Chain A
């Protein structure tokens, strides 16, 4: 084992290092599955496994955009609040116009616009990303609660609800969306110039700027994509829950960050993959699903997620020896 990893930590074979990291995580996911199959009767059933996949795909949509942000060495703490505002505005549009298409476009548009504002704060105003997006979190939170005024929106067209709760050939629709965005995200990050430039910015922003990468424009793109993915996630939430409230996505920020970090994306930027984030989302969903099946009180979920976030960063730093 050490023979294989020795030359890799030297930094030359970056991609295969990433593949080994992802492999370990897939192994962990399988071990959790095996443990849950032994410990509970209800885990290994088609219904529950499809349920896990659907929940993991919801988490993945938010976490995939966030992965790009973290790859540049930034963070987006506003995604949960962004899901809430996008869902509420998209819900209103569907109610007013009766057109799910317009609603979907609105949700993604609002999310993307919020993300772009984050990008402007980080690039043009040069506010550190975690504090800029943290300020944005509370601005969005306030606006959403004011906009909804404590109301709940119910009842969306049946066709629209299919996006969140429908099946095609026995698989939930969100799982197909997951596969599409996993492919797009992976190809974008690994196989396009823009994707590689994002890695370069995260690895060394000064070197990236000196080598002619338009850093500000790429950062703007990354934050906009993160926002738009939160908008997309809000649509799927809306379709799945068939209702919208001001607190709809609030509790999603910490799990999304956890998924990215469990997936092996380094907080210091430049290292990680979108596929890793998918595995991270899967692992976190499995753990929470398992706690649910073992009838652990739901109050334990934030505690466990917090512990997992810290463990994931610690493990990442141990295995990569990139201690700051």
Chain B
């Protein structure tokens, strides 16, 4: 067990080049091609815009480490963002909106985990089913309309600063540190590594793999609830299609960051770099005045390339 843990800790270090080199290369190319890229406001813009993605990508890393996947995140994000908007509008309270979104997100997370762990449905189909449900619920609760007129407190979550640092950055850094601590410094984290790599060992240690899996997906749902608040604050409204497809950027960030889809070893710092890489790619293409459709296609290619490299690694 200890030997394996050490292996898992040293292995990721060899991966640093991959995603970091890609990030530096993209930054160099974009700064040469557009004058607007390497400016303080733009860099801060990229980082602030990446915060929502990071909140999805952190739990997605854990889920992928368990050899799972959560395709419902984008649709659930849309739903929780709408819930924040509707509840904040009705009660005038940002906190009530956040609590409602956390609750709805967690319910979806638990449902995903239950379908995967207890019922035994393959994760990509179970979460495709809940994707449809969340998408439908979003249309139903919003009646297909935007929800506008947010209280100032909601907007402040995205535009506010604390000691000169934008609030979203603080929230994102806090989430990253929490996940880092959870994965690398608690027993729960060790179990997650075991869940992907060595389920037998968990059984011998008397740990319920089912309960753990449900917890992992539930954590994902709760994070999507938190991200829903940021989403609503950013747009200053709730919109019934706002977050659709964002789970793909999260999967891309995790894959680019070097977390394997088949071997249960994940790397959170890689995910962080992966999130920034996806953010830089979209921002750079945007500055080059390429349409958003090209951005979507490039993120798709990025995932396929990352998985191809991962496949090469696993064979060697």
Contact = CB atoms under 8 A, between A and B. Distances in A.
Interface of A: 75, 77, 121, 125-128, 130-132, 134-146, 149, 254, 257, 261, 267-268, 297, 299-307, 309-310, 313-314, 317, 323-324
A254 B315 CA distance: 33
A126 B69 contact: no
B140 to A, nearest CB: 5
Contacts of A143: 293, 297
Contact of A145 (B129, B296, B308, B311): B296
B296 A127 contact: no
B291 A127 contact: no
Given A306-B130, A306-B131, A317-B120, A135 B300 contact: yes
Given A132-B307, A142-B300, A146-B291, A302 B122 contact: no
Contacts of A75: 124-125
Interface residues of B, number: 47
Contacts of B133: 302-303, 306-307
Given A126-B311, A138-B296, A145-B292, 10 more contacts: A77-B128, A125-B311, A254-B131, A299-B139, A299-B140, A302-B135, A303-B133, A306-B134, A307-B133, A309-B129
Chain B facing A: main interface SS: helix
Contacts of A324: 120, 122
Interface of B: 69, 71, 115, 119-122, 124-126, 128-137, 139-140, 143-144, 245, 248, 251, 255, 261-262, 291-301, 303-304, 307-308, 311, 315
A138 B248 contact: yes
A141 B303 contact: no
Contacts of B295: 142
A139 B301 contact: yes
Contacts of A138: 245, 248, 296-297, 299-300, 303
Contact of B248 (A134, A257, A305): A134
Contact of B136 (A77, A149, A268, A299): A299
Chain A facing B: main interface SS: helix
A137 B300 contact: yes
Contact of B294 (A131, A146, A305): A146
Given A127-B308, A299-B140, A303-B137, A310 B69 contact: no
Contacts of B134: 306
A126 B309 CA distance: 10
Top 3 nearest A-B pairs by Cβ distance? Answer: A306-B132, A303-B136, A142-B297
B311 A310 contact: no
B293 A145 contact: yes
